[in-house]
């Protein structure tokens, strides 16, 4: 069988936007989403020793790679877009390296990372289940997966998906109902919904507290799902 060209393994080409990709994070809206998302992911990692090797799949411009490196991880970021990889490399993030690779065929030996992460990148993979399988293969048997996915139950995400020409129009959004059967066989799963609509309109510190309250109330309509999978050593590869 002839392998697919690397450019065919993604639902959207982010390359043309690489030089301006970080502008959204620096906007008022992006700043709020970024703070709430990172607060949730930090809760998943706060009991993890602040060291180890972390693979980030779909690392883009290195925005989240910098976050993981600041938490003490030695980060290897991979992205399918050479333009995104180029922007990330120019940042010279301490503790992080970047290379171009297809997440469906990762160029690493089995079990060489302590943690594998994918933040809003599975949505744009041609075969997200296969990418998760590759992440598992590259993670040690008692390691951890960290996923950040766009919630299909979020009205905000559905609205963005209706915008013609937007990457979200071709993204595959995930719901809690879809994630559980995919991830539960792999190990112990913990999901923290965040970036709730009610939180986003408030100042950053207040929005963060409101997000925690809604999480405790069992709300599931946050725009972002922060997911941790503590892998079982006996899982099937």
Burial bucket for residue 100 (CB in 10 Å: 0-12, 13-18, 19+):
middle
Number of domains in the chain: 1
Mean pLDDT of 54-73: 96
Mean pLDDT of 162-178: 78
Between these two residues, 159 and 141, which has the higher pLDDT value? 141
Its domain, for residue 75, covers 14-231
Is pLDDT of 195 > 80?
yes
Q: How far apart are the first and last CA of the chain?
A: 22
Residues in the chain: 237
Q: Is residue 154 part of a domain?
A: yes
Q: Is residue 6 part of a domain?
A: no
Q: Is residue 114 part of a domain?
A: yes
Q: Quick one: pLDDT at residue 234?
A: 46
Q: Is residue 5 part of a domain?
A: no
Q: Is residue 236 part of a domain?
A: no
Q: Quick one: pLDDT at residue 4?
A: 36
Mean pLDDT of 67-82: 95
Q: Is residue 1 part of a domain?
A: no
Is pLDDT of 23 > 70?
yes
Q: Is residue 49 part of a domain?
A: yes
Mean pLDDT of 200-211: 92
d(CA 7, CA 191): 31
- What six digits make up the tokens of 96? 């992080």
Between these two residues, 24 and 64, which has the higher pLDDT value? 64
d(CA 123, CA 56): 15
DSSP-derived letter for residue 151 is: B
Q: What angle do CA 171, 177, 178 make, to 5 degrees?
A: 45
Structural element, H or E, at residue 68: helix 63-70
Q: Are 209 and 171 in contact (CB under 8 A)?
A: no
CATH number, position 42: 3.40.50.150
Those residues with Cβ within 8 angstroms of residue 216's Cβ, 6 or more apart along the chain or in another chain:
none
Span 114-131, pLDDT tens digits = 999 999 999 888 899 999
- What six digits make up the tokens of 60? 């883009």
CA distances in angstroms from 2 to 5, 30, 231, listed in the order given: 9, 41, 33
Q: Quick one: pLDDT at residue 72?
A: 92
Is pLDDT of 1 > 50?
no
The percent of residues above 70 in pLDDT, for the chain, comes to 88
Q: Quick one: pLDDT at residue 237?
A: 45
Average pLDDT, the chain: 88
Q: Are 37 and 148 in contact (CB under 8 A)?
A: yes
**Coil vs helix vs strand at 195:** coil
Q: Is residue 7 part of a domain?
A: no
């Amino acid at each position: 069988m002839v392998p697919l060209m690397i450019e065919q393994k993604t639902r959207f080409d982010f390359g043309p936007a690489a030089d301006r990709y970080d502008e959204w994070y620096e906007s008022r809206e992006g700043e709020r989403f970024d703070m709430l998302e990172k607060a949730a992911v930090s809760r998943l990692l706060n009991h993890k020793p602040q060291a180890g090797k972390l693979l980030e799949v779909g690392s883009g411009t290195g925005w989240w790679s910098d976050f993981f490196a600041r938490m003490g991880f030695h980060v290897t970021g991979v992205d399918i877009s050479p333009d995104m990889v180029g922007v990330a490399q120019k940042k010279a993030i301490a503790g992080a390296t970047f290379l171009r690779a297809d997440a469906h065929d990762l160029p690493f030996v089995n079990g060489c990372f302590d943690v594998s992460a994918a933040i809003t990148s599975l949505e744009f993979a041609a075969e997200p289940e296969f990418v998760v399988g590759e992440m598992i293969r590259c993670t040690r048997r008692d390691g951890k997966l960290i996923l950040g996915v766009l919630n299909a139950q979020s009205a905000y995400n559905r609205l963005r998906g209706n915008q013609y020409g937007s990457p979200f129009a071709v993204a595959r959004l995930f719901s809690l109902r879809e994630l559980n059967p995919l991830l539960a066989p792999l190990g112990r799963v913990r999901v923290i919904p965040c970036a709730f609509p009610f939180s986003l309109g408030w100042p950053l510190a207040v929005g963060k507290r409101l997000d925690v309250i809604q999480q405790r109330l069992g709300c599931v309509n946050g725009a972002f799902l922060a997911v941790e999978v503590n892998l079982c050593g006996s899982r099937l590869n």
